[in-house]
Structure 1
Amino acid sequence: VWYIRASDQNLYMHVYGGNQDGNNVVMHGDESYAKTTRCNGPCPNSMFVLEREPSRPNAWYIRASDQDLYMHVWGGNQDGNNVVMHGDENYAKRTRCNGPCPNSLFVLECDILEIDN
C-alpha cells in the first residue's frame, strides 16, 4: 500500500469521511495523522493500492486499501472537477467505458531534479 504525500508539505491524501462511495479525496493531515494518531495505527482511508493499467504506460488505478473502491474524477476529466471514491473494479476498468475508464485512470509522472552536493 501507498501513502500519497504532497511534494512540498507534510500533508497526505485522505478520503474524507472514510472509504465510502462518493466521499471526496482531499489533502488532509500530517504523517502522524495518516499513519498512527487518528486510527490507533495506519488509517485505511489514507492508504491506497496502485494497480497498473497494462494498455497505457505509466497509467494506474488507485484503489482504497481496505475495499473494492476506486478514485474517480466525478463528472469527467475537466478543470475544477473533484476526485472522489467511486465504483468497484469492474466499473473502473471495464463496464463504464467498455475498457479503461479515463476518469478512473491516473498517469503518474516523475520530474528528476538535480541534487547539488
Structure 2
Amino acid sequence: MADHLVQYYVVNRELTMSPGKIAAQVAHAATLAAIDLLRGDASRFPAPEFLQWFAEWYGDGMKKIVLKGSASAMDKLVGQGFYPVRDGGLTEIPSGSLTVVCLPPMPKAKAQLYVKGLSLY
C-alpha cells in the first residue's frame, strides 16, 4: 500500500504516570478500538473504510505510534470522535483523568490531519 496504515495513541503529557501506567492505559485504548471496529460499531465510525483499514492494518504488522499531547489537544481529538481512556483513579492519578486518546488504524496521511504538531513520546 502506498500510504501506510498506522494507529496513533496520544498520551496526556500533563499527567505524571509511570511507564507501566502509560503502557496499561495505551493497552486499554487498543482494546477498546479493536472491539469497536470488530463489532462494526457504526455509531462511532460510520465510514466503511475503517473496517477495511483495520483488516489491512492487522495483516500488515499493526504499526502503532505513541505521541504526547496536551489535555486541550486530546480534548479536541475526543470531540472528533476518537477513543478516550479515562482513569479509574485507583493508583497514580485522579479518577476521570484523560490519559490516552486512540485513533483507529488509517492511512498515515489521513491521520496526520489529526495529529500534526504532536511529538513522539
Shorter chain as denominator, the TM-score bin is under 0.3
Q: In proportion to residue count, which structure has more helix?
A: 2
| Structure number with larger C-alpha Rg | 1
Query: TM-score by structure 2 length?
Result: 0.24
> Of the two structures, which has the highest relative contact order with CA contacts closer than 8 Å and spacing of 6 or more?
2
